[in-house]
C-alpha cells in the first residue's frame, strides 16, 4: 500500500515537472519566435539595402596581354628597350581609352579578375629593377615619394586621374640591391608593396639558364626569394621572368621548385619574353609555367608582335580580347 502511495506521489511529481517544462518551453518558444522574427526582418531590410553581388562573366576564349617594359628615361633616343616617361603616360591613356584596365599578376593566377563591363584586363611587368622604373625622392616635408620621373611616378599620376584604371604592376628584380635612389633597399620594396605593386624574380645575376647546373639554378632563384623575404617580413616571391626568356633544357624542374640556403621556393608563374597575349587563366590549356608576354618598345614604330601591333589586331578582331560580358 505504502509502495503504491509512493509511486503515485512520484507519478504526480513527474507530471508536474513535465507540465512545468512544457510551460517553460512554450515561453522559450515564444521568445525565440519573436527573436527570429526580428532577425528575419533585419535580414530582409539588409537585402533591400545591399545590391546583389556583381557577377563577372568574360569572353573566356579571348586573351590577356602581359605587357613587358624594361627601361625608362626622359628621352628615348634609338634604344628600342627604353620608353620615355611622356610616351609611357600616352601608353596608359591609349589603353584606358580603348577599354583596358590594369589587374595584378596574382589576380590573373588566382582567376580573380574584376574589371567593368566591356573592359579588358591588362597586366604590366617591368624587368631588371632599373632606376627609371622606380626610385624614391624626398618631398618638401622629407617624406619618401615616388619620383614623378619614373614609371611608378607616372602610374601614380595616371591612377590619381583615372582611379578605375587600377594601380598594378610586377617588378622583376635582380640580385640583392634594387632600383637605386633615395631610401634603403627595404624602404623601396616596402613602398611598392604598400601601393599594391608586386615583386617578382629575375634571378641573382640575370643568368642564362640554358647551361646552368641544378645548384646554380637554385642559387640564382633562391637568392632573390630569400633576400626579399628577409627585407619584407616573409614576402613570398613566387613569380619569375626568365632572363632573356631562356629556360633550361635539362633542369626545368629546378626553375619551378627548389631550395637554396635551407629555404624552399616555388614559382607559380614563369614568364617568357615574347610575343603573344596569354590565354585566359580559366582556359584548360593555359600553362602558368610558360606564359608569353607582349613587348612594349621605345619609339613609335609599329613592330610585329609588339604592344601596338597587338592592340591593332584586337581592335580589328575584338573576339581576340578577353573582356567582361554584360551578364
If binding means CB under 5 A, how many residues of this protein chain bind Zn ion? 2
Q: Which H helix or E strand runs over 215?
A: helix 214-231
* Binding to Zn ion, residues 76-135 (CB under 5 A): 127-128
Shortest separation between residue 152's beta carbon and Zn ion, angstroms: 18
Q: Helix axis angle, 185-194 relative to 214-231, nearest 10°?
A: 80
Instruction: Considering the complex, state which of residue 80 and residue 187 has its C-beta at the smaller distance from Zn ion.
Output: 80
Nearest to 265 by CA among 201, 188, 170, 206: 201
Q: Is 267:256 a contact under the CB 8 Å cutoff? A: yes
Q: Which residue is nearest to Zn ion (CB)?
A: 127
Instruction: Considering the complex, state which of residue 76 and residue 128 has its C-beta at the smaller distance from Zn ion.
Output: 128
Instruction: Considering the complex, state which of residue 129 and residue 277 has its C-beta at the smaller distance from Zn ion.
Output: 129
Measured CA to CA, the distance from residue 92 to residue 100 in angstroms comes to 9
Shortest separation between residue 84's beta carbon and Zn ion, angstroms: 20
Instruction: Considering the complex, state which of residue 271 and residue 307 has its C-beta at the smaller distance from Zn ion.
Output: 271
Q: Which H helix or E strand runs over 190?
A: helix 185-194
Shortest separation between residue 63's beta carbon and Zn ion, angstroms: 23
Q: Which residues contact 172 (CB under 8 A, 6 or more apart)?
A: 125, 126, 127, 128, 129, 200, 201, 202, 239, 240, 241, 271
Instruction: Considering the complex, state which of residue 76 and residue 127 has its C-beta at the smaller distance from Zn ion.
Output: 127
Strand, coil or helix: 110: coil
Instruction: Considering the complex, state which of residue 107 and residue 220 has its C-beta at the smaller distance from Zn ion.
Output: 220
Between the alpha carbon of residue 7 and those of residues 1, 4, 20, 66, the distances in Å are 10, 5, 20, 86
Shortest separation between residue 202's beta carbon and Zn ion, angstroms: 6
* Binding to Zn ion, residues 7-26 (CB under 5 A): none
**CA dihedral sign, ordered 73, 74, 76, 79:** negative
Strand, coil or helix: 224: helix
Shortest separation between residue 127's beta carbon and Zn ion, angstroms: 4
* Binding to Zn ion, residues 33-52 (CB under 5 A): none
* Binding to Zn ion, residues 125-184 (CB under 5 A): 127-128
Q: Is 181:132 a contact under the CB 8 Å cutoff? A: no
C-alpha cell belonging to residue 1: 500500500
Shortest separation between residue 82's beta carbon and Zn ion, angstroms: 13
Shortest separation between residue 42's beta carbon and Zn ion, angstroms: 57
Instruction: Considering the complex, state which of residue 158 and residue 172 has its C-beta at the smaller distance from Zn ion.
Output: 172
Contact positions toward Zn ion, by CB under 5 A? 127-128
Amino acid at each position: 500500500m505504502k509502495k503504491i502511495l509512493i509511486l503515485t506521489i512520484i507519478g504526480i511529481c513527474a507530471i508536474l515537472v513535465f507540465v512545468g517544462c512544457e510551460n517553460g518551453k512554450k515561453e522559450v518558444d515564444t521568445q525565440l519566435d519573436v527573436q527570429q522574427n526580428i532577425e528575419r526582418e533585419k535580414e530582409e531590410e539588409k537585402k533591400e539595402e545591399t545590391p546583389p553581388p556583381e557577377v563577372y562573366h568574360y569572353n573566356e576564349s579571348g586573351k590577356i596581354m602581359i605587357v613587358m617594359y624594361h627601361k625608362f628615361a626622359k628621352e628615348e633616343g634609338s634604344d628600342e628597350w627604353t620608353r620615355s616617361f611622356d610616351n609611357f603616360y600616352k601608353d596608359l591613356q591609349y589603353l584606358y581609352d580603348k577599354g583596358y584596365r590594369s589587374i595584378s599578376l596574382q589576380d590573373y593566377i588566382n582567376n580573380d579578375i574584376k574589371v567593368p563591363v566591356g573592359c579588358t584586363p591588362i597586366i604590366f611587368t617591368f624587368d631588371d629593377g632599373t632606376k627609371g622604373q622606380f626610385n624614391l625622392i624626398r618631398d618638401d616635408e622629407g617624406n619618401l615619394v615616388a619620383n614623378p620621373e619614373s614609371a611608378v611616378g607616372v602610374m601614380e599620376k595616371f591612377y590619381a586621374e583615372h582611379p578605375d584604371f587600377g594601380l598594378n604592376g610586377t617588378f622583376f628584380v635582380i640580385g640583392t640591391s634594387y632600383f637605386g635612389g633615395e631610401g634603403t633597399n627595404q624602404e623601396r620594396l616596402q613602398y611598392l608593396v604598400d601601393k599594391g605593386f608586386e615583386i617578382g624574380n629575375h634571378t641573382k645575376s640575370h643568368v642564362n639558364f640554358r647551361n646552368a647546373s641544378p645548384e646554380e639554378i637554385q642559387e640564382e632563384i633562391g637568392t632573390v626569394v630569400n633576400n626579399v623575404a628577409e627585407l619584407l617580413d616573409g614576402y613570398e616571391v613566387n613569380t619569375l621572368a626568365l632572363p632573356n626568356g631562356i629556360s633550361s633544357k635539362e633542369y626545368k624542374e629546378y626553375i619551378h621548385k627548389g631550395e637554396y640556403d635551407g629555404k624552399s621556393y616555388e614559382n607559380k608563374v614563369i614568364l617568357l619574353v615574347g610575343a603573344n597575349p596569354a590565354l585566359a587563366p580559366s582556359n584548360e590549356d593555359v600553362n602558368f609555367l610558360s606564359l608569353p608576354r607582349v613587348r612594349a618598345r621605345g619609339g613609335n614604330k609599329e613592330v610585329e608582335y609588339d604592344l601596338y601591333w597587338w592592340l591593332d589586331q584586337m581592335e580589328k578582331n575584338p573576339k581576340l580580347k578577353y573582356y567582361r560580358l554584360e551578364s
